Structure 1
Amino acid sequence: MIMEGARKVMVVADPTRESAGALQYALSHAIVDNDTLVLLHVENPNAWRNPFGALFRKQPSTGAGGAAASNSLPPASAEGGGGGVEVDFLDAMKQACGAAQPKLKVSVVVARAEMADGKDKASVILGQSAALKIDLLIVGHKRSLSNAILGSRRGGSLRGLDTDHIITNSKCTCVAVQKKGQHGGYLLTSKTHKNFWLLA
């Protein structure tokens, strides 16, 4: 049971550096005592064509504690197909949370998008945050090269996820996080602040 005055903080959990950065920001800057953290993973209906394991094999597993551990996830299990990989990935993120904040209450929610496009995934995230009465939604943010050069109004994206749509339509406070290197701080975007710089 959540204590009075505590918040529900949701982080969109994906096997990407951007998602790992968002989790690291949440653990180091957003989570306070008595908060509950919800890790939301939205399954891609085409995930079987691009198994998560392929992303992890290129990254060494250092076993480092804290949120940085989410950047060094264990190799995907070959058993059980994609489902086994997802369990390993989400379990690694949950373990990273426990290493950083042992007393933090963490729950994992897995939802499924009906289509692979960013709009559909964004709608699932918005629906889950409303249904779970989330107070703060945090999503990894990746600014594409074309947006950086052309200054596109569309802003950034996370592997096809429309982060601008989530920020604009979220009923709770929503922050898109872009981590700038290992110790370079964070670039934050919300309804009221765009590209706000926060030191690590």
Structure 2
Amino acid sequence: MEVGGHALSRRVMVVADPTRESAGALQYALSHAVVEQDELILLHVENPSSWRNTFSTFLRRPSHSATSTAAATFLEGGAGDHVDFLEEMRWACKLAQPRVRVRVERVAMEGKEKATTILFQSMAFGVDVLVIGQRRSLSSSLLGYKRPGGSLKGAKSIDTAEYLIENSKCTCVGVQKKGQNAGFVLNSKTHKNFWLLA
């Protein structure tokens, strides 16, 4: 969109986790969702009650050589346990889109569900596009995710991505990476299982 000859910048948020799904979502965002003047926000929702989170930031201090190697491998399927995955995601963004502003945000769940925390943060930052990696199991594909009332409580079959797609005020895209060069399967409010070639 242009106003007075200048393109308006957008805020694109990617839900950042140390998973293949999150790596696929970042790859999609960098190749199809952001342009030069946009701001990319990497949001990681931490669960303060998880013992693993307590040790992960204390033990993971990447070396400079590990950083450059892991940045290349991150977009190919996720970071290893020896590196800070958020720094690797930031590094991968700078390599792929050097002119895009990148911000990393870590927030605690504070007793809320992860999906509602992400939803709140996307509104607080005024996000235009929300991108989240999505894993679909056979049972959830067959049974569907829809639940009356829009709540995740007691509904283990609803995944975070589907909840965000249905309840987000901005455009929300659930991304599944299909193989190294096979492309992406995208889900949004208006498109289900849309295949996008790499």
TM-score, length of structure 2 as denominator length: 0.77
Contact 1:70 / 1:96 at 8 angstroms: preserved in 2? no
> Partner letter of residue 198 of structure 1?
L
Match of 2:10 among 7, 11, 14: 7
CA displacement 1:121-171 (0-9 Å, x = unmatched): 0000000000000000000000013224xx11117xxxx852111111101
Q: 2:185 matched to which residue of 1?
A: 187
Superposition CA RMSD, Å: 2.8
> Partner letter of residue 110 of structure 2?
E
> Partner letter of residue 191 of structure 1?
K
Q: Quick check: 1:48 aligned with 2:41? A: no
Task: Give the superposition deviation at 1:52.
Answer: 5.5
Match of 1:132 among 125, 128, 131: 125
Task: Give the superposition deviation at 1:14.
Answer: 0.3
Query: In the aligned structure 2, how far is the partner of 1:19 from the partner of 1:72?
Result: 8
**Secondary structure at the residue paired with 1:103?**
coil
**Secondary structure at the residue paired with 1:63?**
helix
* Count of residues paired in the alignment: 174
Q: What runs of 5+ residues in structure 1 fail to find an aligned partner? A: 78-87
> Partner letter of residue 13 of structure 2?
M
Q: 2:109 matched to which residue of 1?
A: 113
TM-score, length of structure 1 as denominator length: 0.77
Contact 1:178 / 1:186 at 8 angstroms: preserved in 2? yes
> Partner letter of residue 40 of structure 2?
L
Match of 2:19 among 13, 16, 20: 16
Match of 1:100 among 81, 84, 96: 96
CA separation of 1:52 and 1:183: change in aligned 2, threshold 3 A: farther
Query: In the aligned structure 2, how far is the partner of 1:72 from the partner of 1:127?
Result: 26
Who wins on radius of gyration, i.e. which is larger?
2
